[in-house]
Structure 1
Amino acid sequence: MKKAVWRSVLVYVLFSVVMSLYIFQWADTSIPSPYQGTAADPATFMTEQQLLLSEDYSKVRNVLYFLTTPYEWLLLFVLLGLGLSAKIQSWSQMTVRVQALQICIYLFWMTLFTTILTLPFKLYGYNLSKEYGINVQPFQGWMKDFMLDFWINFFITAIIVVVLYSLMKKSAKRWWLYAWFLSIPFTLFLTFIQPVYIDPLYNDFYPLKDKQLEAQILSLADEAGIPAAHVFEVNMSEKTNAMNAYVNGIGDHSRIVLWDTTLNKLNDQEVLFIMAHEMGHYVKKHVFLGIISYLAVSLAGLYLIYRLMNFIIRVWGSRIGINHTHDIATIPLFFLLLSLLSFLFTPISNTVSRHHEIEADRYAVELTGDQTAAVGSFQELSKSNLSQVNPPLIVKIFRYTHPTMLERIHYLDTYEFKEIEKK
């Protein structure tokens, strides 16, 4: 197993070199000739400096992503392969007798181990965004959010893992099915409470200050058939220069949220288009479709993890000091398989997400009838976020939940209004 660990380290190093060469040297990110000179060509709406910054910033961020994800897999494999997981399990069992507390102790040390060893990547990402003028948050504030992330994720993960491993112990053959059934109300609960109880831990949310603009947005919502009493604004300008807007939550806790940076940088018509886009997600029921898709995929994923864990423990369990699937020491294996399967499924989920975004774009331009605002909002978004307008194919497949800016701007710029049918 030690040889396997060292081979994994070597594979990781080689992978990092190849991905870096691909993104920095081999990938073609130039604008195709049919798009040159059009509204989708960044040369028509970005300065030369913005073009250089967006390319450089995006390349480094993309490399950082493709280095961080397999690095996290490597850390989990090291815990298993060097027998550290079995040792932490023994220590937690000697500390307390209750299994739930044993799991919490184990999970704390595992989480602390991976968090500390991935911290350099996160710090580099923070400093990178500061250097390029995207992040304006002081280090103290960033560390506060980082620690808040740690404890919220640990608390939620501890609940999930305690329940999961209790099911594994009670039903070795059906735990994956029972876990899936329990995940349904838990997922809905988290989706329901996130806008009201979790998001405000990070930022201040309040009804839109510009009442005239709010009235226009609510009028647009009424035209779209959306019951809405408020549009929420969040003070992101103290943390970032980037722009964003989103819709989250379900039922009475559904929220349409605008970053204040979006309000500061876009004119009213562009803001209305952005809001119409978010309303499109609501009207097209993308949140509910996302939840349903997630639950369907998670059922298949849990079953695959069940089969793979049994196989791995049966073949290699004795080499890593693990005897049963329900042993606490298999927690890194569960998360490793979960992360690998999630990564492999990412191209499919991103494709579906990009389709939903195009649907929302189409809905927004149909509802507002304002093609100029639609194009202008994405051009401004590209500049503020230093977005790479035409990213490499592999980056698009694995990272882009939205169509590229080249695709979105071109689609809206060439949209034919004779197809418009007001909903």
Structure 2
Amino acid sequence: MDAGQVVTPPYVAGPLRLLPFRGLMLAPHRVGDPSTGRAFARPYRGVAARLLKWQSRGLVRKDEAPALYLHEYTSAGLTVRGLVGALDVSRRATRPEDRAVLPHEGIHPAQADDLADRMAEMGLNPAPILLVHNGSEELRRLVGDVLATDPQHAFTDRSEQQHRIWAIRDRTTLDRVAEELRDARALIADGHHRYAAYLRLQRRDPGGPCDLGLAMLVDQVATPLFLGPIHRSLAGTDLDDLRNAAESLGMACTTRSQADAVAALGQDSLAATDGREWVVLDLAVPEGRAAVEVLHRQLVPALPHGPSSVGYHHTVDDALATADPRSAIAVLMPAPAVDLVQRIAEDDRLLPEKATSFQPKPSLGVLIRSLRDAPDAPS
């Protein structure tokens, strides 16, 4: 998509509210199975019927009463824990200080529209967006009290993620959690376009189930998500172009060995290669900025040729596979610090597209929310 089409999604106003909902859960052997993703594919209008058929076969379970869920999952030795609930998206913030949910990347309106259409046709929020915040000590204590009880569900899925789930229905606990979240601000870690789709659905049909969207709120202090880099490939340009752009901006661009270039990668420096030669770019990143901002907003526009396209890669090997002295360079990126991303979002700024990769994400199918349920809490 044309980068010019990227826009800032609207801001949800506080207080931050995660409400109980009646969770749909796939059978453990269906969670993490690649075939499960296909169950949520076209025709979207048939997804709800598919899940009803699975429910009759015992492959989907629906809770009898609404709950706020505590979901803990472990993947490759990393444990993440968060509260899963129906996020109130019914109010829009008009002032920066009123914001409760902070995006850090822009969205493509057409993609958000498409996702909203899919959710409406399915009648589902098929997976929670991931939010992170720095929880209070009291909230951690409340979560600890829940953890001290036996989970309602504990299983290992097909992708080897281990899950434990507690359903929180005690009114006193729910009220105390709500009070601790009232003044919280949450950063979107994953799901910017789904978040924007929630807002579109709410605008289309206010006052009902679409006033809410499924979200998982992770305490980044207690069980942090890992923030990794997303590397770049720049097609239609070469290392000479990169050197010229750096020189025009007063940045140092020095030839190094591969080992030295990779070792030099840091918050103020990038490593780039055409598959034959390596260079290190010293960016002199200003205070409060990220290297990915300097790359996309200063260095790329200064290239004398290209890029004809930008590729995004979650692994170094994938990025290096694109490098070619005749047609493309690979740029290895540092991961921005989480607190820097939070500060950028708090300052009402957005990072370039695909600037962050928060991991691990929970498998699809652990908790699903039906849009056919009324947004009511247990008595």
TM-score (norm 1): 0.22
Greater RCO, CA 8 A, separation 6+: 2
Larger radius of gyration: 1
Quick check: which one's strand share is greater? 2
